[in-house]
Structure 1
């Protein structure tokens, strides 16, 4: 049975991401947006696609990993996602002979924000055009 993919429906996916991750923050959304674009350009196959995430495992950057797993189907359990401890908000997606690298250009400013304000920043990243905050290299 082939896996099927439905495009990112902002509010529905944001709600599900928040439930999966237990809270909503911008790096979670940024990872999800990276995965969404990777699927649009490489095609959806959660068994053939691989992801390398350069955030390391320290929040809040590492929250990108959950967004990528949730949307792309690249998971730690399947072994098709790797986390590099570089401490940078970048991710690479590979499928067949194609590669896409995402670099975060606009970092969210979260200093001094309370939970609801962080959620609002996340929603801004969910709705803004990707080119406003990501560099995409193919």
Structure 2
């Protein structure tokens, strides 16, 4: 456990804007938004110390679902460098956080990605971005369901 009370850069609470998320991720999509919002929910309600927490992202294992992991890293501070986040290939879409044997499971609500594909038309990415930007302001309960195991 990292409880360095004399360290001024430990346990900083950082809230990121839509622009910050897009800058980190390279574009703005709904899965980084959901991952980020899940991460901030966990930070604010379950565990505010990312060193005491492990995150498991259950998803297809590839984009766009795996983009949840980028949002969780920014929202909760579980990172690849600390080795306390992992992506587990699965047909389900869920995120689990574990702290001291207690597990918080979060399942994103289904949503519809705009029709099209990257490169199909110039408007596709703009429609995906607009959806993500809108989702950023949704309530937690509109984005995901939470349970404890």
TM-score, length of structure 2 as denominator length: 0.82
- Is the contact between residue 61 and residue 87 of structure 1 (CA under 8 Å) also seen in structure 2? no
Task: Point out the structure with max Rg over C-alpha.
Answer: 2
Provide the C-alpha distance between the structure 2 equivalents of 1:3 and 1:104, rounded to a whole number of angstroms.
26
Structure 2: gaps (5+ residues): 1-6, 117-122
State the shift of 1:58 in Å.
Answer: 0.7
- Is the contact between residue 55 and residue 83 of structure 1 (CA under 8 Å) also seen in structure 2? yes
TM-score, length of structure 1 as denominator length: 0.88
Alignment partner, residue 90 of structure 2: 86
1:136 and 2:146 matched = yes
Over the residues paired in the alignment, what is the CA RMSD in angstroms? 1.6
What is the aligned residue count? 134
Runs of 4+ residues deviating >6 angstroms: none
State the shift of 1:97 in Å.
Answer: 4.0
Provide the C-alpha distance between the structure 2 equivalents of 1:108 and 1:44, rounded to a whole number of angstroms.
31
Provide the C-alpha distance between the structure 1 equivalents of 2:106 and 2:129, rounded to a whole number of angstroms.
23
